Chains A and B, each alone.
Chain A
Amino acid sequence: MVDFGRVVQNANRVVDSAGKAVNDAGHTVGGFVRRAVDRPVDARKPQTVTVAAPRAQVMQFWRDPENLSKVFGDHVRVETVEANRLRWTWDTAGRSTIWDTRVDVTSEGLAFVGEDDADTPGPRVVLAVSDAPRGGTGMTLRAEVPAPDLVTGAWTFTALYRARALMQTGEIPTLQGSPSARESEGDA
């Protein structure tokens, strides 16, 4: 049962701390919801989604630079420079960051490995594919890129979400052209 005595006490305590709480608005505005939404997830932590597509199709999808440009976001371009060599270009705030990678087919899936770090554990984007429970292909993505401030866990999750959408429905959800669209949206 509800302990009303304690509730009243708690309520009083809340009122007493009102001034402090208001001054401390940065921590209290929007409460838990806002804090959770604002907390960036580390891109090095793996993110996984399942797509209703066979493993071979998934592997082929991620080797196509046109698909990579679509799923990795509006501020990064991925182009083929030569066979199995990709160039990633981030255009942010008037600054371009270029990253050249090799495309390695590994036992777990694909690895986009920085040219300068080919043989050391350096920056890389790693895709692992697996048979998902109840069918489909699990896609696990983690990223460590040369300029870590360029990407967060939202970048890898968004890429997976878009890849699944594109493979399952033929399109990526977008706010393009919408009066509510904002530059930072639908993007990593």
Chain B
Amino acid sequence: MRALCWMGVNELSVETVDDPGLVNPHDVIVKVRLTTTCGSDLHFLGGYLPGMREGDVIGHEFMGEIVETGPEVTSVQVGDRVVVPSFIGCGKCPYCADGLHAACDTTNPNAAMQQPLLGYPTGGIYGYTHPFGGYQGSHAEYIRVPFGDVNCFRIPEGIGDEQALFLSDAVPTGYMGADFCDISPGDTVAVWGAGAVGLMAAASAKIMGAERVIVIDRFRDRLDRAATKVGTETVDYTEVDSVYETLRESTGGRGPDACIDAVGMEGHGTGVMQAYDKVKQALRMESDRATSLREAILSCGKGGVVSVLGIYGVTDKFPMAVLTNKSLTLRTAQQHGQRYMPALFEHVLGNRLDPSWLMTHDLPLTEAVRGYEMFENKEDDCLRAVFRP
């Protein structure tokens, strides 16, 4: 089959690789219909996240059709149109039982690679470095999904492929970030980053009852989407002296009730901290440029929640004293999509949420290299490039 492979730092190529087959009794093979780029792919593409090997098939957000099931799969069948969360759950361990599927104790074949760093390894994820499992990614014609009963969600009638695709990762990640904020009616929520995840966090915060949602970014087209598609206020951080002061002054001097960081270590910013981070990152001494995280912590009102969705490596200059003295709660996770899928189907069916507009570019898989180039450089206002294998 054809698949998009990582061939080295900043080097992708569409290659012919072996088709996946059933290996374990709970496996399912999905014929991929749609698969999309994700900002977190840029971390290993740029070499900031180690653990890729030449020939790895990348991609972790996808939907498709089941074409084969293992002998012990019972709840889904061949022909089902399904969406699959990017982290793989087993459904049996205590973490899956608690709805923390990304922390699954079972699904990471390379758990021992992660243990020295994390102490307790995460579950596996498709197409996202070997410490995270080493599984084949979704930018391919077919993909093996372990524990099909737990990870394949049959898409209800009335939800289109393009809507379902983003329920794989971008939507549940944003939704979880808003869920972390314990939003009460009347709350103000600030969101750093108007990429797909940030926009979905903003939309989710509105669904959960936030009165004001303020989105911070520097790209005009993205801020426009936040305003027109989600109905948020916006701050272009290149046009204000200080995001913190802008937020403070627009919230009666109290600050937002919750702040969501949907940027992560590839973030851009302005000012001295940013220069410091960038130098360190260039030297691979620290993998992060944590501008947005520091700003979220500084901006958040007393007693508030800082919800971190952006992916960081190792961050220094962490403003611990600000968290402590303002009684802030820091919440973060990789996404537990399985936990939120039934609610997300309801929101889409109820017309409260339509993520299909995140797809700005619709390309055949053969043009995936170009798709990543456009996505990374935000060419042609690319928000998400979607590939059809």
Please judge, given known A-B contacts A173-B146, A177-B20, whether A158 and B56 are in contact too, CB under 8 Å.
Answer: no
A153–B111 Cα gap in the complex (Å)?
A: 12
Please judge, given known A-B contacts A177-B23, A178-B136, whether A158 and B272 are in contact too, CB under 8 Å.
Answer: no
Which chain A residues numbered 15 to 44 have a C-beta less than 8 Å away from chain B?
15, 18, 21-22, 25, 28-34, 36-37, 39, 41
Q: Which of A30, A176, A178 contacts B284 (CB 8 A)?
A: A30
Complex contact B313–A31 (CB within 8 A): yes
Min distance, Cβ A73 to any Cβ of chain B, angstroms: 10
- Complex interface: stretch among A1-9, A96-104, A109-117, A121-129: A1-9
Q: List B contacts of A165 (CB < 8 A).
A: 90, 105-106
Any B CB within 8 A of the CB of A174? yes
Complex contact B131–A37 (CB within 8 A): yes
Any B CB within 8 A of the CB of A147? no
Complex contact B50–A10 (CB within 8 A): no
Complex contact A39–B57 (CB within 8 A): no
- The winner among A154, A178, A185 for most chain B CB atoms within 10 A is A178
Size band of the interface chain B makes with A: 35 or more
A32–B140 Cα gap in the complex (Å)?
A: 32
Complex contact A157–B112 (CB within 8 A): yes
Complex contact B272–A4 (CB within 8 A): yes
Q: Which of B24, B111, B279 contacts A161 (CB 8 A)?
A: B111
Contact with A along B98-139 (1 / 0, CB 8 A): 000000011111111111110001001001001101111100
A4–B242 Cα gap in the complex (Å)?
A: 15
Q: Which of A36, A158, A169, A176 contacts B23 (CB 8 A)?
A: A176
Q: Which of B23, B94, B280 contacts A174 (CB 8 A)?
A: B23
Which chain A residues numbered 150 to 188 have a C-beta less than 8 Å away from chain B?
153-155, 157-158, 161, 164-165, 168-182, 185-186, 188
Complex contact B18–A179 (CB within 8 A): yes
Any B CB within 8 A of the CB of A105? no
Any B CB within 8 A of the CB of A11? yes
Complex contact A2–B273 (CB within 8 A): yes
A182–B105 Cα gap in the complex (Å)?
A: 22
Please judge, given known A-B contacts A37-B113, A186-B134, whether A173 and B108 are in contact too, CB under 8 Å.
Answer: yes
- Tell me the nearest residue of chain A to B319, going by C-beta: A2
Any A CB within 8 A of the CB of B292? no
Contact with B along A130-148 (1 / 0, CB 8 A): 0000000000000000000
Q: Which of B17, B50, B92, B109 contacts A185 (CB 8 A)?
A: B109
Any B CB within 8 A of the CB of A52? yes
Q: List A contacts of B93 (CB < 8 A).
A: 52, 168
A188–B134 Cα gap in the complex (Å)?
A: 15
Any A CB within 8 A of the CB of B303? no
Contact with A along B8-32 (1 / 0, CB 8 A): 0000000001101101111000000
- Tell me the nearest residue of chain B to A40, going by C-beta: B116
Q: Which of A8, A33, A169, A181 contacts B287 (CB 8 A)?
A: A33
Any B CB within 8 A of the CB of A14? yes
Min distance, Cβ A183 to any Cβ of chain B, angstroms: 11
Query: What are 8 residue pairs bridging A and B, where the CB atoms are less than 8 Å apart in the complex?
Result: A4-B272, A7-B317, A8-B276, A14-B283, A33-B117, A33-B287, A171-B24, A173-B24
Q: Which residues of B contact A (CB under 8 A)?
A: 3, 17-18, 20-21, 23-26, 49-51, 53, 55-57, 72, 90-94, 105-117, 121, 124, 127, 130-131, 133-137, 140, 144, 146-147, 272-273, 275-276, 279-280, 283-287, 294, 313-314, 317, 319
4 other A-B residue contacts (CB within 8 Å) besides A22-B283, A165-B106: A18-B279, A29-B284, A170-B25, A176-B23
Q: Which residues of A contact B (CB under 8 A)?
A: 2, 4, 7-8, 10-11, 14-15, 18, 21-22, 25, 28-34, 36-37, 39, 41, 49, 52, 153-155, 157-158, 161, 164-165, 168-182, 185-186, 188
Ordered nearest first, which 4 A-B pairs have the shortest CB separation? Answer: A179-B17, A154-B112, A186-B109, A171-B24
